[in-house]
Amino acid sequence: MMKNVIEIANLRVVRGGREVLPDLTVSVPAGQVVGLLGPSGSGKSTLIRAVVGVQVVESGEVTVLGEPAGSPSLRRRIGYVTQSPSVYDDLSVRANVRYFANILGAPASATDEAIEAVDLTSHADSLVGRLSGGQRSRVSLAAALVGDPELLVLDEPTVGLDPVLRRDLWELFNRLAAQGRSLLVSSHVMDEASRCDRLLLLREGQILADDTLPALLVRTETDDAEHAFLSLIDRAEEAAR
């Protein structure tokens, strides 16, 4: 297995005339759940868009699974879920997932397996338009899983979900990593840090920390991710003075 599934060097992205990612260098190891955490507007979605190859970049290099981001050969190897579920309301859960399975050339059995993985088997024949927000985002996730991707890139997949569903989804992410997949999962909820094998803390387009949660807590002498993040901000501001 390759060591890093994502390698980013000196990435610079400008959006709407603003430098959103000034000069970002980071890597994401294989076989882990890596949390991309940071406040709203810190650049998480922009970074994710660069990884999946849909973001115009000024300069820098983004290498994913050994290929330049956006390479056609990566399409089947990456599962990407955007913040708003991209599914068809007028189709059933099964028809939605089967549609993506057909595009990806996945075997027939993959549809029901992906629906099972996101715990929607009992709703497989329901129209997606009649599902709750959380169920709809799980349909999106099933669509991303159906091609059996090596890397899953999920942009705030747990937003708006109740605590039980959030826990269930994180358990699913951990299971997927245990099966050898790699996951990059963004969130602005700091307490989701405890669910990740490794954390990237992003603030104003800069990586404040790239570490495991236990190491981060030791280094900042704090007892949760939120305080660790605040402590790192204070240190960065002191250093800049």
Q: Footprint of ligand ATP on this chain (CB under 6 A)?
A: 15-16, 18, 20, 38, 40-46, 188
Based on CB atoms, which residue is closest to ligand ATP, 22 or 31? 22
| 37: amino acid identity, one letter | L
* Closest distance to ligand ATP from the beta carbon of 213 (Å): 20
* Closest distance to ligand ATP from the beta carbon of 10 (Å): 18
Based on CB atoms, which residue is closest to ligand ATP, 150 or 155? 155
Please report, for residues 11, 43, 77, 208, the alpha-carbon distance to residue 61 in angstroms, rounded to integers and kept in the order given. Answer: 6, 17, 19, 20
C-alpha–C-alpha distance, residues 11 and 100, integer Å: 31
- Find, among 173, 85, 188, 66, the residue nearest to 134 by Cα: 85
Based on CB atoms, which residue is closest to ligand ATP, 16 or 163? 16
- Find, among 220, 176, 170, the residue nearest to 35 by Cα: 170
Main-chain dihedrals φ then ψ at residue 5, nearest 5 degrees:
-85, -25
C-alpha–C-alpha distance, residues 119 and 96, integer Å: 15
**Residue/partner pairs of 101-106 with CB below 8 Å, 24 or more apart:** 101/146, 101/147, 104/76, 104/146, 104/147, 105/76, 106/146, 106/147, 106/148
* Closest distance to ligand ATP from the beta carbon of 44 (Å): 4
* Closest distance to ligand ATP from the beta carbon of 154 (Å): 12
* Closest distance to ligand ATP from the beta carbon of 59 (Å): 17
C-alpha–C-alpha distance, residues 112 and 94, integer Å: 7
- Six-digit token string for 234: 């204070």
* Closest distance to ligand ATP from the beta carbon of 201 (Å): 12
Based on CB atoms, which residue is closest to ligand ATP, 32 or 46? 46
